[in-house]
Amino acid sequence: MSVGTGEHEHRVRPGKGTAVDVKLLTRAELALRGLGSDTEVRRPDGAGPSDDGHVLVDGANAALPSNPASPYTVRDGRVWLGDEDTGLTLTPVRRPAFYDLTTADGVPYEKIARLHGADVLATTVVQTCVRYAESDRCRFCTIEESLRSGATVAAKTPAQLAEVAEAAVRLDGVRQMVMTTGTTTGPDRGARNLARCVRAVRETVPGLPVQVQCEPPGDLAWIRELRDAGAVSIGIHVESLDEDVRRRWMPGKSTVPLAEYEAAWDEAVEVFGHNRVSTYLLVGLGEDPDELVAGACALIERGVYPFVVPFRPMRGTLAARDGVGAPDAQVLRHVTESVAAELRAAGMSGADQQAGCAACGACSVLSAAGG
Ligand code: SF4
């Protein structure tokens, strides 16, 4: 089975299938094609593969692209496909009150951390990446574009993060925090700074669960250091387990061998616990979908949650510049449904991670599929 990466102008519907299948397929199509109407809370660029409007679909966090060409619209709190009611409800996420504040040293809170979904505070503590030269950069990433556009600042201090987190919890009911980082030049690859930031936030807001995301640190002792600093979960994101895909899509990051990822995941499971470790797996980079599912199963056996996310050609990425399209909705549904079934069988749910992308779920369709 091969993955389509072209334009998908027609809607794919199964000839027959259960209501759940159809709903999941609709949710997959929504994730890929987005909404024709604008949403109020967006993150226009940034680290990772998401560039979306934040809403609740059937009450769950969902990050949906804004796409004037999408056939999906919202009316009366429901998602419509033309004049057909899809049966999905949609609630916009309102602009949070903390966005209107400014730190003691004069930086708008909005440039320090952003609201993802309805209740997740997300920040990129270092907004530059040692791998951002065009020859090295991950082709789905725009980490430095948001810096260039002035939407954020290059480095957030621990004090700034603590200040913003306190306000976001108090004013907007934020329930978890995600801290990611661009890869730094040191052998810890950014983990040392992440640990400092986690510690500051946890000292100020002890009840706020924090997830950290980084490359496998050269010295695995940093994983325990992150846990000791107060992080409850960790994402070590490989994006693809296929070596060809890794080399093509992540020329810089793929120089870190998969064996290093495996060692870091195993150490992280040891330190953080079963189902407190996750990794992104992107659907639509050209990998074989069944091999992707098999790889996800192996991760589940390790105690690592495979956060299956559709690749979307975000503005400003090398992939979008080169005209690479999103994957086929049927492929996304197939992979998502298969991985969700394996997660259920293993008793692993994203929500159990307490903090992080798997707990938020907005960028994936996994939670809609019961994962
Ligand atoms: S899944 Fe992760 S990147 Fe996506 S909205 Fe949630 S916290 Fe943000």
Model pLDDT, residue 19: 54
Closest CA to 20 of 253, 333, 272: 333
Model pLDDT, residue 49: 42
Model pLDDT, residue 3: 31
Q: Which of 50, 140, 179, 180 is the pocket-test mutation for ligand 1 (most atoms within 8 Å of CB)?
A: 50
How deeply is 16 buried, as exposed, middle or buried, from its count of CB atoms within 10 A (0-12, 13-18, 19+)? exposed
Show the 3-state SS of 239-261.
Answer: ECCCHHHHHHHCCCHHHCCHHHH
Supply angle C-alpha 157, 172, 354, rounded to 5.
75
> Residue 307: what are its φ and ψ, rounded to 5°?
-85, 100
Q: What number does the ligand 1 atom closest to the CA of 364 have?
A: 1
Q: What number does the ligand 1 atom closest to the CA of 178 have?
A: 7
**CA separation (Å) from 276 to 18, 41, 171, 173, 306?**
32, 28, 28, 23, 11
Tell how far the Cα of 15 is from the centroid of ligand 1, in angstroms.
33
Say yes or no: CB of residue 363 within 6 Å of ligand 1: yes
Edge-to-edge, what's the strand order for the sheet holding 84-92? 60-64, 53-57, 84-92, 78-81, 72-75
Closest CA to 59 of 19, 93, 98, 85: 93
Model pLDDT, residue 13: 43
Per-residue pLDDT for the chain (371 aa), expressed as one digit of tens each? 333 333 333 344 444 445 557 888 999 999 999 988 655 555 555 554 445 678 999 999 999 988 888 999 998 899 999 899 999 999 988 899 999 999 988 999 999 999 999 999 999 999 999 999 999 999 999 999 989 999 999 999 999 999 999 999 999 999 999 999 999 998 899 999 999 999 999 999 999 999 999 999 999 999 999 999 999 999 999 999 999 999 999 999 999 999 999 999 999 999 999 999 999 999 999 999 999 999 999 999 999 999 999 998 888 899 999 999 999 999 999 999 999 999 999 999 999 999 999 999 999 999 999 88
Closest CA to 179 of 215, 138, 220, 231: 231
**Has this prediction a pTM greater than 0.85?**
yes
Say yes or no: CB of residue 117 within 6 Å of ligand 1: yes
Supply angle C-alpha 48, 51, 56, rounded to 5.
110
Model pLDDT, residue 232: 98
Q: Tokens standing for 224?
A: 């325990």
Residue nearest to atom 8 of ligand 1 (CA): 116
**CA separation (Å) from 79 to 121, 137, 151, 254?**
26, 36, 30, 39
Model pLDDT, residue 50: 46
For all residues of the chain together, what is the average pLDDT? 90
Model pLDDT, residue 2: 32
Q: How many CA atoms lie within 13 A of 303 on its CB side?
A: 18
Residue nearest to atom 7 of ligand 1 (CA): 357
Q: Tokens standing for 190?
A: 């950014």
Model pLDDT, residue 313: 87
Residue nearest to atom 2 of ligand 1 (CA): 357
Q: Which of 120, 211, 279, 364 is the pocket-test mutation for ligand 1 (most atoms within 8 Å of CB)?
A: 120
Indicate the length of the chain as a whole number. Answer: 371
Say yes or no: CB of residue 362 within 6 Å of ligand 1: yes
Q: What is the DSSP letter of 350?
A: G
H-helix or E-strand spanning residue 28: helix 19-33
- Quote the CA–CA distance of 345 and 203 in Å, as a whole number: 37
Closest CA to 191 of 156, 165, 209, 216: 216
- Quote the CA–CA distance of 311 and 239 in Å, as a whole number: 10
Say yes or no: CB of residue 122 within 6 Å of ligand 1: yes
DSSP string spanning 181-244? Answer: -PPPSSTTTTHHHHHHHHHHHHHH-TT--EEEE-SPPSSTHHHHHHHHHT-SEEE---B-S-HH
